[in-house]
Chains A and B, each alone.
Chain A
C-alpha cells in the first residue's frame, strides 16, 4: 500500500478519535432535554456511562456499525414507547444489535435512566 493510502487511512482513524474533531458534542445530541431533577441528573450520568458510545449520533462509531442507531432524543415521547417498553429494551437488549443490561443496573439506577430518557 502506498504511503498516501496509509496516510489517508490514518487521517480517517484520527478523525474518529481526535479530541479536536469531537469537540462541542455535549450535551450528547444537540437538542437533548436538560436534566433538572436529581433522578434526571443521575440518569444522564448513567446514560453517559453506558449508552452514549452507540447513542451519540455524531460519532464515527455509529456510522461504521451501520445499525441505524438513534440518538434517543425524543424517543421516549413517541407513541407506544412506554416505560415498560424502555425497561424491557434496556434489560434484555436487542439480539444482534444491543447488549442487555439486566445484570448491570439496580432497579433504582434503571429508574433514573428512564427518568432521563423521558426528558431527553
Chain B
C-alpha cells in the first residue's frame, strides 16, 4: 500500500501536467513605474500617509503592495499585463476595492478615498495592537496582560480569541483543556528548568504538572477572571488610539507576497520568486526527485488580505512555512524543520532526527546518519564546513569529513536550548529560552559557558510572581513574569556580535563574541506585545528581525540603537522566521507567514545601510 505522501506525490505529478507550460516572470525591480499610481485621501480631503495599497492580477498567486508617502501618493513597480484587483487599507477605515487593466506603456491612475469607520473594527487589529489597547488603568490590568502574553501567545495569536467573547465557565473549560495540552511534552513534572524541583500541582485529569502546566495552574483563577472581563459577555472598551501608520522611509518598500499551496507533499519546498512557481524535492529510493506543486486559488477570507477578517489559528491548518532559507540560485526554500543556509557552499541544511543537505547546484538531497538527539530549531555551519545543530541537551556538531558527531551539553540541565548560530571564531552560540542564558561552545577547546541575561523588571510584577519565577521557572510555551525568553537567534558572521530576540519582553539582545558578554538589550517599539523573533544581520551589520504577533518586521542599527519598523500588508501573518538576501543592491528581506501560507519578499526604495 502506498504511503499518503507517495499518493500525494503521484497525484501532484499528474496534476502538474495540466498546468500551463510556463508562468509569466514578474518584475524584479522595486523602482516606481507609471503603470499603476494614485493618491489616497481621507473623507476630509487630506492626503493619507502610510496606507497600504495592494494589487493582484486575475488568477495570480502573487500580490504586490506599496504604501502611500507623505503626499498620499503611491506608485507600483512594473507589473505584468493583466486585469488587476486593487485595494487600500488602514486601521479604522473602510477598504475600497477597484479593478483596472494594466498593460505595458499604459498609465493607470487609481485614486481612493478612505472613509473612517464609526469605531475601529477590532478584527483589523494585530495581536500586538489588541494587547496594547486592552485597559492599563490599574497595576493588575497591566500585570494580567503580561500573564496572558506569557501563557497564551506561543500557540495562539491572541487577537484570534480576544475578538471572541465567552462567559467564565467557557473560559475555565478552555484554560483547563489548554493546561492538559501544554502538559504533554516539556520537562518532566516537577522539574525546574536549570535544575532542582518544584512541588507539582495536579491537573483535573490527575496528571502532575510540568513547568508549563504549573504556570497555567498558578494563574488559572486570575486568567478566568481577567479574560471574562476583557473578552466576556460585556465588550471591553479598547483604548481608541490606534498604532500610528508607517511614515517616511517605513513607507518606501515594495512587498511581493507569494501564495504557497496549502496541500504539499513531504520534502523541501522551492519557490521561484520570478514566477511564483512552487516545486518540491524529495528522496525516493536513494534518488532526489522533484515535483511541481499546483497552487490553486484559496478561500479569500482565509488569506489575511482583508484585515476585517482578523487573525486565525496557526497550528498548521493553513500550511505556510515556519522557516525559510535562501539559495545561491535566487530561490527561496522551505518546509524542512530547523533550516540553515550556507550560501558560500551552495547548500541548504535541514535538521531533525538527522541532518539533511540540499545541493542547490546539483539539486541533490543527501541524508546523514541519525543524531544522538534530534535537533530543535537551529542549524548552522562553521568555517570548516562542519554542521551544527542545537538539541534538547545542548548542541551537536557533525564533522563533515568523517561524519563524527560530538555533543556539547548545556552547563545547566533542562534549559530548553532553542536556536543556535556560529560566529566567525567558530564558537557556537545557543539560546536557552527556559533559563535566560546563552550557551557558548568554544570552537577550539570545546569548553562551554553560559552568558546570562538579567530578569525583566516591572513595577507591576508582584512578589508572588517573582516567587514563581524563582521556584517554578519558565519554558517555551509558558513563562514566569520577569522571564526574557531568548528564543530565535543569529550571529553576524562578518562582525563581532550575536543577537537573540527576547520573546516575552520585546527586545533584541546583543552579545559580544570576543568577550562573550551581553552588550545591550535593544528595546523594540511595541515589542512587548509584538514579540521579536528571528534576528538576521545583513552585510552592513544591520539586524533585521521578525515579529511574531504584529504583522510587522524591523531593522536594528546596533551601533546607533535606532530601530525602524516596517509594515506587512496581510493580517494574522504569524511571521516568525526571516532571511536576508545580501546579493541585491539593497539587501532584500524575506518573511515567511506561518499562519496564512505566504512568503513576503520585501524590497527597499531607500538606503538601509544605516
A interface residue numbers (CB < 8 A to B): 1, 3, 5-7, 9-14, 16-28, 35, 41-42, 44-45, 48-50, 52-53, 56, 59-61, 64-66, 93, 95-101, 103-104
Contacts and interface: CB of A to CB of B under 8 A. Distances in A.
Contacts of A21: 316
Contacts of A95: 169
A40 to B, nearest CB: 9
B501 interface: no
A39 to B, nearest CB: 11
Interface in B184-217: 184-188, 191, 205
A2 to B, nearest CB: 10
Nearest to B572: A49
A41 B337 CA distance: 31
Max chain A C-beta neighbours (<10 A), residue from B155, B164, B315? B315
24 contacts: A1-B191, A3-B373, A3-B409, A7-B391, A10-B185, A12-B185, A13-B184, A13-B185, A13-B476, A16-B184, A16-B185, A19-B321, A19-B322, A19-B323, A24-B5, A24-B263, A41-B301, A49-B160, A49-B311, A59-B315, A99-B170, A101-B166, A103-B165, A104-B165
A61 B181 contact: yes
Interface string B316-331: 1111111100000000
B180 interface: yes
A19 B337 contact: yes
Contacts of B322: 19
Contacts of A12: 184-185
B576 to A, nearest CB: 10
B417 to A, nearest CB: 10
Contact of A100 (B5, B166, B177, B391): B166
B interface bracket (residues with beta carbon within 8 Å of A): 35 or more
B167 A44 contact: no
B502 interface: no
Given A11-B374, A44-B302, A103 B232 contact: yes
Contacts, number: 153
B177 A20 contact: no
Max chain A C-beta neighbours (<10 A), residue from B4, B310, B322, B336? B322
A28 B317 contact: yes
A22 B335 CA distance: 10
Contact of B313 (A13, A14, A35, A48): A48
A91 B335 CA distance: 38
Contact of A23 (B166, B191, B316): B316
B495 interface: no
Nearest to B303: A45
Contacts of A93: 170, 173
B89 interface: no
